[in-house]
Amino acid sequence: MTLREATVAITVPFHDVDSIGIVWHGHYAKYFEIARCALLDSFGYGYVAMRESGFSWPVIDMRVRYVKGVTFGQRIKVKATLREWENRLLVDYLISDELSGERMTRGNTVQVAVDLKNGEMCFVSPPILFERLGIDR
């Protein structure tokens, strides 16, 4: 399968920074989510499509490595890359300065499929995911 990636550009708004002008750590989850939505939409399996297919995909783990503080007004690129999909969605993220390309933050999230009919976690990703990714099973 071809590597799945999506990149979004964000200008850091004032309401995302703390009193010294650095992005508050909790907002990185939001930046990851914006890029993850673009990634999922790129192969037609965004959150609405997930729900319509009978599954939710909650985030069960998130890791962030802060390399350098992102600041108010800074233009950043957030790249999301799908690394695993067989039994879970593992998405890696890289936040970099849009102008210099300097790495600012990296991280990843893990999501698992939950069957909306019975609320049970699936131990293997459902067939609809493979269909949307164009993978024959």
- Please report the domains of the chain, with CATH numbers, ordered by start residue: 4-133 (3.10.129.10)
Q: Distance between the two ends of the chain, CA-based, in angstroms?
A: 12
Element at 22 (helix H, strand E): none
CA-CA distance, 103 to 66, in Å (whole number)?
Answer: 10
Q: Give pLDDT tens digits for 29-76.
A: 999 999 999 999 999 999 999 999 999 999 999 999 999 999 999 999
With a cut of 70, say whether residue 1 has pLDDT above it: no
CA-CA distance, 95 to 132, in Å (whole number)?
Answer: 26
Does residue 16 or residue 1 have the better pLDDT?
16
Q: Give pLDDT tens digits for 71-129.
A: 999 999 999 999 999 999 999 999 999 999 999 999 999 999 999 999 999 999 999 99
State the average pLDDT for the chain.
Answer: 96
The identity of residue 41, as a single letter, is D
CA-CA distance, 29 to 47, in Å (whole number)?
Answer: 16
Three-state secondary-structure class, residue 33: helix
Q: What is the pLDDT of residue 3?
A: 75
